[in-house]
Structure 1
Amino acid sequence: MTFSTPSPEQWRESAVKALKDRPIEGLLHLDTDHLVVRPLYADATGIQPLFAPRPSDAEGRAWDLRTQVEGDDPEAVNAAVLTDLEGGAASVILSGAVLADSEPLAEALANVALELAAVGLDAGLDGPEAANALAVVAKGSPRAKLMFHMDPLSAYAAAGGSPLPIAMHLSQAAATADRHSGAYPDASFFLASGRAVHEAGGSAGQELGFTAAAVAAYAKAAVDAGLSAERALRGTVLGVSVDAEYFDSLAKVRALRLIWASITKAFGLDMPAAIEARSSRRMLAARDPWPNLLRLTAAGFAGAVGGADAVVLDGFTRASGRPDAFARRQARNTQIVLMEEAHLGRVDDPAAGSWFLDARTRDLAEAGWAEFQRIEREGGVVASLKGGAIQMRVAASRQTLKTAFDKGHSQIIGVTKFVDPDVRPAPVEPSALAPAAAITDSCAPLLPLRFAAAFEEAGQ
């Protein structure tokens, strides 16, 4: 049976009739990047198709199931790492006091085959020291898949400063990359991420623009340290946040791939992006953590369908503290279900061909590129942070999003809607607060927030 395809004019007539006396313009939605989200997308509206697949084998494991293990006790970290790898993870990211030196790090990575399981670091401004420790641990394994993940810009922006001048932290990270590039040809060095912008309430375009500006800053520092532009970019992983708004999140991942193509083209290069998607923390609830499982599933779906090369899902109890073994298992198993039961990786770029998602991808890519150019006109990401321009734009986005929750235009399940009066407890692991580092080179911090926090505090 053949169904007729209504034209946009016919749809408009039906919409006007259904709306009665309300204006059809009320169906348009303006987001925090001032991009218009329309009620109808169709071939007749002139949407250009896009194809932005991840460069991986859809017949195998299409993306890297990556977990995060935090801890100060090497023995406990090692047990958690081995449990994750034996339970289906392909790679891990480590944070905590185990990164302080090669001896505790070696103990934490005992019996881990570094040529098979990639190991990454989350060490903030101490990234070069942690990278050196990991390089010592991997000695004798030249094909080790090390991910140093040095990202001093994000740490500087989130903390509101650094112990040394941030330019020196950049130089140290670049020199560390140059020092280990020959010994570990499969290693990646930098994590260029806009997650600090996202967690502070920034828009998708602002996050993408910050990421692009970080790529430029790290590439320049690496070239100044002696690396080629090709090796510097090949050693850069792009970090992006994904949350329960899965359409926008997956479009953001695809948009980042387009932005990367433009950046590498400017260097006269053509290489695939390596994108690591991490679940958002600003979307999580603390009082009732169980609906976070749904939010994290949606985030994992967005990362997988959007084409991320690696996906990292937080524990559902993250808003209350460090996730315990049960929460880490749920985070790991969520991805396994998406990968091996939902088969989300069996199609390359499944969003391609959707008029809405292709249009949204292009819109976000253009918004991210515009923000990148704005940051560069302000003197680059460091100058823009020191001048407070990035922070001002993020603050405006944060206020817009908070207002939407305050007025009920946006809802948080379990917090502002469908609130469970009798919440089951969910334990977390104790964690020691890291001592605050001395700050000599300061900027206004991009402080993280949780949108649920204000409602949870008001309901106490």
Structure 2
Amino acid sequence: MPECALTQTFPIPSPADWRVEAEKALKGKPVEGLVHLDADHLTTRPLYGRANASEAVFAPRASDADGRAWDLRTQVEGDDPDAVNATVLGDLEGGAASVILSGAVLADSEPLGRALAGVAVELAPVALDAGIDGPDAANALAVVAKGAPRALLMFHMDPLTAFAAAGGSPRPIEAHVELAANTAARHAGAYPEATFFLATGRAAHEAGGSAGQELGFAAAAAATYVKAAVAAGLPVERALSGTVLGVSVDAEYFDSLARVRALRLIWRSISKAFGHETPARIEARSSRRMLAAKDPWPNLLRLTAAGFAGAVGGADAVVLDGFSRAAGRPDAFARRAARNTQLILMEEAHIGRVADPAAGSWYLDHRTRDLAEAGWAEFQRIEREGGIVASLRGGALQSRVAASRAAGKAVLADGGGQMVGVTKFVDADVRPVSVEASVPESPATGGDRCPPLPPLRWAEAFEGEAA
């Protein structure tokens, strides 16, 4: 090979050079038409490079899930302890590393103990999804794990999400937050590896909220739980390390992975403000608002994109829903598909081999900072309104979420956004799916009230038209 071939360099185009070529390609249309504005009023430009780069971001996950890049977490719902136990053991044997439990098995330590029979809680983390009854479920799990002080328990108490989603709570929501904090303080000594709270903006996301609103809700909830835990007697560093952050990931994988990274930056600022910078623990859950019911099969693609985003974004744990969720409770096949999607991403695509693979991308670093600033601005707005409880009671946060919801619906209705299998490439002869029977929950809301954040699915309006 000639020596000149080894040293040959290529000219680096300038933004001005790019603009000339872009104007040619647009054939008279303005280049400014390529700039897009999102629900947080953030701009996405058509070109990112060294000339307009923001400060570089490096936000890798801090944990090592037993030699794996992230914790593959499966969600098991049920009321019959023996059936739940068979499902839990099957999912763990099938590749899951941890489990989230919900349903009537959380009501007491006896059914919960049967549901977890044969599970080594020192090796396989167990999380709870008990809504407003989180403290009772946490007490039950603490009893089941008695004798295993190194049990990897994740109580995931989150009364604020339950309050916001249901539009109320049995008692004043402050009392539920205080009870959760007291429960955390009571079990902290016995279970030093346990985490206590899940601070998430999922209620805002599933109601149609923007990324900034979701991140702001999560930040405000985290600050509220940490303050309550300290007031209950926990050292601030234990309150911080005992708080898990939750974020939603969907088929918009660039924005989703940027949300995960942005939440890590926000948490860094929050923990510094409490005087103890603490690594974030982030659980990414797939969005339900992106799922279709009439033709659920394309949901497999959406969930794969969501899992990719959670993994590349640096989530410590990823939870993928069953593709049939919008039609009912996912069955064993849907749970297996969700689990195997992550296994392929992890063990065949090796997505987690690189720490923070998004780092160094001018666009993704810029988007990460934009979303972090939007989330922080929403957090500050909530704090000015008196905190998350006051904001929810007064409906201020809900009104902002409603505006984002309306804007999102309008984009789909006008053809500005598309969903495969819903608004584009609609299958006229859809193969049916099976789901498990479940009893709808009726949350108690008599003691305190707020305007609810009702969940939506973007596909719902179009499925009604096609029915």
Which among 204, 207, 210 is matched to residue 217 of structure 2? 210
TM-score by length of 2: 0.97
Q: CA deviation at 1:13?
A: 1.4
* 1:58–1:348 contact (8 Å) kept in structure 2: no
Output the amino acid matched with 1:174: A
- Report what 2:191 is aligned to: 184
* 1:243–1:299 contact (8 Å) kept in structure 2: yes
- Report what 1:128 is aligned to: 135
Question: SS of the residue aligned with 1:17?
Answer: helix
Which among 164, 189, 193 is matched to residue 171 of structure 2? 164
Which among 46, 54, 59 is matched to residue 61 of structure 2? 54
- Check if 1:33 corresponds to 2:40: yes
Q: CA deviation at 1:56?
A: 3.1
- Check if 1:258 corresponds to 2:265: yes
Deviations along 1:31-81, whole A, 9 cap, x unmatched?
000000000000111332111000134993010000000000000000000
Output the amino acid matched with 2:116: L
Which among 272, 289, 297 is matched to residue 290 of structure 1? 297
Deviations along 1:157-185, whole A, 9 cap, x unmatched?
00000000000000100000000000000
Question: SS of the residue aligned with 2:155?
Answer: strand
* 1:238–1:274 contact (8 Å) kept in structure 2: yes
1:394/1:243 CA distance change after superposition, 3 Å: same
Whole-angstrom CA distance in 1 between matches of 2:342 and 2:382: 35
* 1:58–1:346 contact (8 Å) kept in structure 2: no
Structure 2, unaligned stretches of length 5 or more?
Answer: 1-7
* 1:279–1:312 contact (8 Å) kept in structure 2: yes
Q: CA deviation at 1:436?
A: 3.7
- Report what 1:227 is aligned to: 234
Structure 1, unaligned stretches of length 5 or more?
Answer: none
Which among 279, 284, 288 is matched to residue 277 of structure 1? 284
- Number of positions where the alignment pairs a residue of Structure 1 with one of Structure 2: 460
* 2:53–2:366 contact (8 Å) kept in structure 1: no
Whole-angstrom CA distance in 1 between matches of 2:173 and 2:199: 15
Q: CA deviation at 1:295?
A: 0.2
Which among 312, 318, 324 is matched to residue 317 of structure 1? 324
Whole-angstrom CA distance in 2 between matches of 1:452 and 1:146: 36
**Aligned ranges for residues 327-346 of structure 1 at < 5 Å?**
327-346=334-353
Q: CA deviation at 1:21?
A: 2.2
Q: CA deviation at 1:438?
A: 4.0
Whole-angstrom CA distance in 2 between matches of 1:148 and 1:245: 30
Q: Give the alignment's Cα RMSD to 1 decimal.
A: 1.0
- Report what 1:423 is aligned to: 430
TM-score by length of 1: 0.99
Question: SS of the residue aligned with 2:185?
Answer: helix
Output the amino acid matched with 2:201: G
Whole-angstrom CA distance in 1 between matches of 2:20 and 2:35: 16
- Check if 1:375 corresponds to 2:382: yes
- Report what 2:446 is aligned to: 439
- Report what 2:19 is aligned to: 12
Question: SS of the residue aligned with 2:327?
Answer: coil
Output the amino acid matched with 2:34: L
- Report what 1:405 is aligned to: 412
Which among 240, 246, 250 is matched to residue 243 of structure 1? 250
Whole-angstrom CA distance in 1 between matches of 2:87 and 2:167: 32
Q: CA deviation at 1:429?
A: 0.2
Question: SS of the residue aligned with 1:180?
Answer: helix
* 1:41–1:47 contact (8 Å) kept in structure 2: no
Sequence identity (%): 75
- Report what 1:453 is aligned to: 460
Whole-angstrom CA distance in 2 between matches of 1:383 and 1:343: 44
Whole-angstrom CA distance in 1 between matches of 2:439 and 2:94: 27
Whole-angstrom CA distance in 1 between matches of 2:360 and 2:190: 43
Which among 346, 359, 383 is matched to residue 352 of structure 1? 359
